[in-house]
């Protein structure tokens, strides 16, 4: 495994322990029967009843199991053993049929046999920045989708990642939180981050991590390059977490489940995007 991804695996083992405490990640809400999916993905993915659904980078499976409650036959993939262990426990305790596979996403074909077997492939919220290369990611999606199957992603908009974090502001007195601080166009080597407060529970420190910035063109280009056909690309002035310190809550679903946007009187920014793409029913070969 890429050494940076091994660092991230340990980081997400730490995060799983933090997120499993109480209701900070909506675990108790889920156990009470609440759907952990946001309104945007519910509307844009649509009815999944009776469909096979593969959730990539599923963490400990709250979204995966929420799709199962809506009738999907679900498989979740994550590289954190602690997350997958918790996902399997939640499925068992909730009586929800589900399969969870523990592996590095890039090695998933070694752990999840077969291809062309899923009606829907889903990923969301904070997933793509942990991948160093989107081209093999998109090829994996194309591999597992049935002809006519749909891929869907909702995630933070790359634009929102150019502004300073709370830690940057604290460490750089006088910094303007409204001015770009990081480049929009990411470097191949990515960026290493020290151990820091967890995004869901600031009282917990999770280990160091390494992530990568991908532009919207990078994401769309990878999917098109893998042969998928774009159905839509949407942008939204809100996000599922407080990605920029200036953001305020604009919509609330539960104590741990909300949308955040820029405060009134400030310019509206693209803070989240969604993409729906389809694998063609037939593949045509161009002769040269």
Instruction: Lay out the sheet containing 257-261: strands in order across.
Output: 238-239, 257-261, 248-254
Domains along the chain with CATH numbers: 48-179+215-278 (3.40.50.150)
pTM: 0.93
- Output the pLDDT for position 245: 83
In the predicted structure, residue 283 carries a pLDDT above the cut 60: no
Whole-number Cα distances in Å, 84 to 11, 122, 256: 14, 17, 21
The answer to whether the beta carbons of residues 219 and 128 sit under 8 Å apart is yes
* Strands (E) located in the chain: 52-56, 73-78, 98-102, 118-124, 145-156, 191-193, 196-197, 205-206, 209-211, 229-236, 238-239, 248-254, 257-261, 272-278
Q: For residue 243, what are the contacts with CB-CB under 8 A and spacing of at least 6?
A: 156, 160, 161, 260, 271
- pLDDT beyond 70 at 286: no
pLDDT digits (tens, 9 = 90+) for 134-170: 999 999 999 999 999 999 999 999 998 898 888 788 8
Residue with the larger pLDDT of the pair 285 and 87: 87
């Amino acid at each position: 495994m890429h050494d940076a991804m091994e660092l991230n695996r340990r980081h997400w083992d730490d995060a799983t322990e933090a997120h499993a405490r109480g209701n900070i990640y909506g675990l108790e809400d889920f156990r009470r029967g609440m759907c952990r999916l946001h309104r945007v993905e519910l509307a844009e993915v649509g009815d999944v009843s009776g469909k096979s659904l593969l959730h990539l980078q599923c963490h400990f499976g709250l979204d995966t199991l929420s799709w199962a409650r809506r009738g999907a036959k679900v498989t979740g993939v994550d590289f954190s053993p602690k997350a997958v262990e918790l996902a399997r426990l939640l499925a068992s305790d909730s009586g929800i049929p589900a399969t969870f596979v523990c592996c590095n996403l890039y090695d998933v074909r070694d752990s999840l046999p077969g291809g062309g077997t899923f009606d829907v492939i889903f990923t969301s919220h904070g997933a793509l920045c942990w991948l160093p290369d989107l081209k093999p990611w998109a090829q994996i999606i194309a591999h597992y989708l049935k002809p006519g199957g749909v891929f869907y992603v909702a995630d933070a908009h790359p634009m929102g990642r150019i502004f300073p974090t709370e830690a940057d502001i604290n460490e750089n007195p006088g910094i303007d939180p409204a001015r770009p601080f990081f480049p929009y166009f990411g470097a191949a080597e990515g960026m290493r981050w020290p151990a820091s407060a967890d995004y869901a529970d600031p009282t917990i420190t999770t280990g160091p991590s390494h992530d990568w910035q991908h532009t919207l063109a990078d994401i769309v280009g990878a999917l098109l390059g893998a042969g998928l056909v774009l159905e839509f690309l949407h942008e939204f002035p809100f996000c599922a977490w407080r990605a920029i310190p200036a953001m305020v809550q604009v919509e609330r679903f539960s104590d741990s489940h909300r949308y955040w946007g820029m405060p009134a009187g400030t310019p509206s920014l693209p803070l989240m995007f969604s993409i729906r793409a389809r694998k063609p029913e037939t593949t045509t070969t161009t002769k040269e």
